[in-house]
Amino acid sequence: MSQQRIPAWITVGVIPLANILIAAIAAGLVFLYLNINPIDALQSMVSGAFGSGYGLGYTLYYMTSYIFTALAVAVAFKCGMFNIGGEGQAYIGALGVGLVCLGLGGHVPFIVLLPISIIAAAVFGALWALIPAALQAYRGSHIVITTIMFNFIAASLMNYLLVYFLKPVGTMSVESAVFDRASWIPQMHEVFAFFGIRIAASPLNLSIFWALFVAFAVWVFLWRTRWGYEIRSVGSNTSAARYGGISISRVTILTMLVAGALAGFMALNVVQGQAHQIKLNLVNQMGFTGIAVALMGRNHPFGIVLASLMFGFLTQGGSELQFEYSVDARIVVVLQGLVILFSGALQHMMKHPIERLYLNYARRRDANADDQHPAEA
Amino acid sequence: MDMALELRGIDKRFGDVHANKDINLQVRQGTIHGIVGENGAGKSTLMSIIYGFYAADKGDVLVDGQVLDIKDSKTAINAGIGMVHQHFMLIQNFTALENVILGAEDGIAIETSLDKARREMERLASEYQLNVPLDVPVEELSVGYQQRIEILKALYRGARILILDEPTGVLTPQETDHLFKVLASLKEQGTTVILITHKLREIMAATDEVSVMRRGEMVAHVKTADTNQEDLAELMVGRKVLLRVEKGEAEPGDVKLAARHISLTDAQGVKRLSDVSLDVRAGEIVGIAGVSGNGQSELLEALAGIRNIDSGEMYLNGETVTAGTAIDPEKVRQLGVGHIPEDRHRMGLINTFSAYEAFVLGYHRDASYNSGVLMSQKAMIDDCRAKMESWDVRPPDPFLKTANFSGGNQQKLVIAREVEQGHDVMLIGQPTRGVDIGAIESIHKRILEMRDAGKAILLVSVELDEIRSLADRILVMFDGIIVGEVPADKADERTLGLMMANIVPDEIKALQAEVSA
């Protein structure tokens, strides 16, 4: 008998779906406890997230942010590092984007400004990741600890800058001036309107295309370039990488620079695409949620795009729930938590039974096939 | 004679791997019974079933003629089965005595247990030549002593059937001889010993009867006196094998690789190499013998640029490298020095990578594997496929994960990768560790072919047979120094064994004095 293998569609299709199904059942129990019919709740989540142009716009807007922050986790993970600093890296990336928009907005055409703000997002995010990276590479300080600390430093730094430098004189709220319109990344309803099509207004903007492109580029980078090869080598087997002439510290730094840049891109969506000003706490936990998205997307760019859509749905559908049933806003966090629990922490719970089920099925199928061709020997 | 242990129709599957197929085995009371087989033949699975780590899918285990339902290792121990694992299960900072009573304490007061154990240990020591310092932490004892403690542990728990899994892998020849004496005296007192090994010489030296496993099946049971190594090898592999490759005279040329007074201290501050000097010429194989952990790994890694030396000088195929010179494995490769690392899992391969990816490790920046910013998939895959064909790697599938190849085929991948680069100097560590007999033969042939093609080869191996059959000159290492040099024709087991314990026989001293004079 030939050795049976588990086909890919089971690993990347059936098992994650089974995990989500269990999470949904668990969520259903929570709704029952809250005296909400789970089917109704699901319906209102789905219609809230996908049922209208407005809702869909928000879902995809959240998805865009999650793609960036999750990629920032995944790239580091491929090198064997746990980057918990997406929150801070995105926040500092926002500073870069904001400075470019505040300084150049209205003075240069958008087509010139956009590449500069993209570079600024990347450079500011990357620099914020550089210090923890260098500390790990040359001093052995653990990246988990340093990136967490850098989130707090970033928050304090932004607080300080907003209060003392960026806040226009005479305003009460802690936020920068609104950027010049000419620096805004066009929102999707504006783009459609330009072509004469009317869709509902939502914060969804052109950044989503950049996110999808970047996800593809990350895949190429990791699996088709020698730098990606080195990153994956270090992540899989450090001593083999060293044997292969790969400098561990150099790769550590390169990886974190890329991760920081990816997190920084999140600011394009949130700051240049939606808020149009630097605000306090603008990352709003999306850097942390990116960890969960990366986990669920199995640290693969294509998986992350799908997982980001899922989390976009949870975020938008969850706020719809809050609207409709006036449940606590943190229901979104509960739902995300359940998804993380079952497809992250317990992701192997369903693996074994499903694989065994498949193997039994395959064995029986092979046995039947053998019965029909007994001459083959 | 009575059967101490009998297996009837033992069958075990792991998913689709049929590890044990309908195994029958009879081990007579008071004999030493060998079990041989290649890696993956199912020996360890079988022993784990006897010791209660796994449950068999089918079949019966009989101890002293009674069917025994072995649910866990406790049942096995109570039935008088003792096991000495390949990797010792000792607590390093406990003394021998504390290790022996661990899990077999009587009552709550530890002192009474220790006193009882001490009396028992003294009795066993005199009866079976199993002397061990009882009050020294285990970490300060040699592996030979540690193994004796494992045996004592089993005997203390009343073992009448003692299973030893690959017991000689870490021992010097002298320690091995002593172990066999211990086993013989255990046998005299009526203990039954089951010896699992892949070393045929040991089977011939120590056992009364031998069973051969191949691919999960028991293929033969013979009396040791009625067989020989060649026949056993053939039974294990299923075809005729050459145990020793034919080798012509070496024709040494210029020095291609040299070390001059190199010393190395590791990250823990332990001195690993002290004042090591050696020469390797084109067209010769210089073997480094020694018990594992005496500086061979560090020497190889220093020459390969993986570790930095504290002092001294290295000569790598035309380039002199002194302590403090920035050197890394990539640069060493560019100088024409290839390195087959000792441990393919830890260093030679990346188990999660496809074969073609692992096949470019260390050469992944070469222009031939890259076009612009992208790596050329086609170049890597074609190259890997071609080398898999010419090195007979099975299956010849560049996309298969490295972890899914057998040990021998993984090793061929590593050797092919390094050899096919056409380096002038090869650093080779444990080329056949965990490799099947059939594959050993072909790897040895390839190494000799390289020598005959004029490569300078430094060979580190803990298998004395391998060193003796391949090397033209043998250096013996002990505790980071080179104890001495032995020409291949003078290298008998006794001489090497003594030198591995830092005792240089007079005739070798005389020989060395002659050379240096």
Q: Does B348 touch chain A (CB under 8 A)?
A: yes
Give residue-wise pLDDT tens across range B124-176. Answer: 888 888 888 999 898 888 888 888 999 999 999 889 999 998 888 778 788 88
pLDDT at res. A368? 78
Least Cα separation, residue B349 to chain A (angstroms): 6
Closest Cα of chain A to B352: distance in Å?
Answer: 7
Residue A336 is which amino acid? Answer: Q
Residue B487: beta bridge partners? B473
**Per residue in A197-220, pLDDT tens?**
999 999 999 999 999 999 999 999
Query: What is the torsion angle, in degrees rounded to the nearest 10, for the CA atoms of residue A336, residue A339, residue A340 and residue A345?
Result: 160
Q: Are the Cβ atoms of A243 and B361 closer than 8 angstroms?
A: yes
User: Per mean pLDDT, which range of B195-199, B331-335, B340-344, B359-363 is the poorest?
Assistant: B195-199
Instruction: Give chain B positions within 8 Å (CB) of A247.
Output: 328
Question: Which residues on neighbouring strands pair with residue B27, listed in sequence order?
Answer: B5
Q: Give one DSSP letter per residue of B412-474, joined into a string.
A: HHHHHHHHTTT-SEEEEE-TTTT--HHHHHHHHHHHHHHHHTT-EEEEE-S-HHHHHHH-SEE
Q: In this complex, which of A240, A242, A359 lies closest to B348 when CB atoms are compared?
A: A240
Q: Contact A359/B377, CB-based, under 8 Å? A: no
Size of interface A-B (CB pairs under 8 A): 73
> Residue B380: what are its φ and ψ, rounded to 5°?
-65, -45
Q: What is the pLDDT of residue A108?
A: 95
Chain A neighbors of B15, CB-CB under 8 A = 359
- What number is the average pLDDT over the span A4-17? 76
Query: Which chain B residues are Cβ-neighbours of A224 within 8 angstroms?
Result: 374-375, 377
A239, A244, A359 ranked by CB distance to B15: nearest: A359
Mutate to test the interface with B, among A229, A234, A249 (most CBs of B within 10 A): A229
Average pLDDT, chain A: 91
Mean pLDDT of B46-62: 89
CA atoms within 13 A on the CB side of B245: 22
Cβ contact, residue pair B16, A224, below 8 Å: no
A221 within some domain: yes
Question: How close is the nearest chain B Cα to the Cα of A376, in Å?
Answer: 21
Residue range B106-127: mean pLDDT, rounded? 86
B-chain residues within 8 Å CB-CB of A1? Answer: 16
Task: Let me know if residue A44 belongs to a domain.
Answer: no
Whether A4 and B364 lie within 8 Å, measured CB to CB: no
**Does a structural domain hold residue A182?**
yes
pLDDT at A293: 92
What is the tens place of the pLDDT at every residue in B380-424? 999 999 999 998 888 899 999 998 887 788 999 999 999 999 999
**Domains of chain B (ranges, CATH numbers):** 3-237 (3.40.50.300), 255-347+409-516 (3.40.50.300)
Q: What is the DSSP letter of B517?
A: -
Contact between B147 and B167 under an 8 Å Cβ cutoff? The reply is yes
The shortest C-alpha distance from A77 to chain B (Å) reads: 14
Q: In sequence order, which residues have a C-beta less than 8 Å from that of residue B326 and are 6 or more positions away?
A: none
Give the span between the Cα atoms of A347 and A328, in whole angstroms.
28
Under an 8 A CB cutoff, do A240 and B346 touch?
A: yes
Q: Which of B19, B12, B6, B21 is nearest to B56 (CA)?
A: B12
Closest residue in chain A to residue B334, using alpha carbons only: A245
B16: nearest CB among A4, A229, A247? A4
In a domain, A334, yes or no: no
Whether A121 is covered by a domain: the verdict is yes
What is the residue whose two structure tokens read 């991948």? B413
Q: Do A239 and B347 touch (CB under 8 A)?
A: yes
Q: Which residues of B touch A232 (CB under 8 A)?
A: 350, 352-353
Distance, in Å, from the CA atom of B366 to the CA atom of B360, rounded to the nearest integer, reads 9
Closest partner residue to A225 (CB to CB) among B346, B348, B373 is B373
pLDDT tens digit sequence for A154-211: 999 999 999 999 999 888 889 999 999 999 999 999 999 999 999 999 999 999 999 9
Nearest to B375 among A224, A237, A247 (CB): A224
Cβ separation B331–A245 shorter than 8 A: yes
Tell me whether residues A226 and B365 touch, CB distance under 8 A.
yes
Q: Are strands B370-371 and B456-460 parallel, antiparallel or unpaired?
A: unpaired
Nearest CA in chain B to A363: B16
Residues of B within 8 A of A366 (CB-CB) are none
Q: Is residue A28 part of a domain?
A: no
Question: Hey, are the CB atoms on B375 and A4 less than 8 Å from each other?
Answer: no
Taking the CA of residue A2 and the nearest CA in chain B, the distance in Å comes to 9
- B377-390 and B407-419 helices, crossing angle to 10°: 110
* Torsion angle of C-alpha atoms B331, B332, B336, B341, degrees rounded to 10: -130
What residues have CB less than 8 Å from B191, skipping those under 6 apart? B30, B155, B159, B160, B161, B162
State the Cα–Cα distance between residues B339 and B419, nearest whole angstrom.
9
Percent of chain B whose predicted confidence (pLDDT) is above 90: 55
CB contact under 8 A, B339 and A4: no
**Of A369 and B213, more confident:** B213
pLDDT at A370: 64
> Is A318 a member of any domain?
no
Residues of B in contact with A4 (CB under 8 A): 16
Residue from B308, B347, B354 to probe the interface with A (highest A Cβ count within 10 Å): B347
CB within 8 Å: B361 and A233? yes
| A371 part of a folded domain | no
pLDDT at A114: 97
Task: Report the relative pairing of strands B161-165 and B3-14 from DSSP bridges.
Answer: unpaired
Mean pLDDT of B210-227: 92
Mean pLDDT of B257-265: 95
Per the structure, the count of domains in chain A is 1
Q: What is the pLDDT of residue B439?
A: 82
- Domain of A140, in residue numbers: 64-300
Of B157, B193, B178, B263, nearest in space to B4 by CA: B193
Amino acid at A116: I
The token pair at A256 is: 């974190």
**B361 contact A CB<8A:** yes
Contacts of B373 in chain A (CB under 8 A): 225
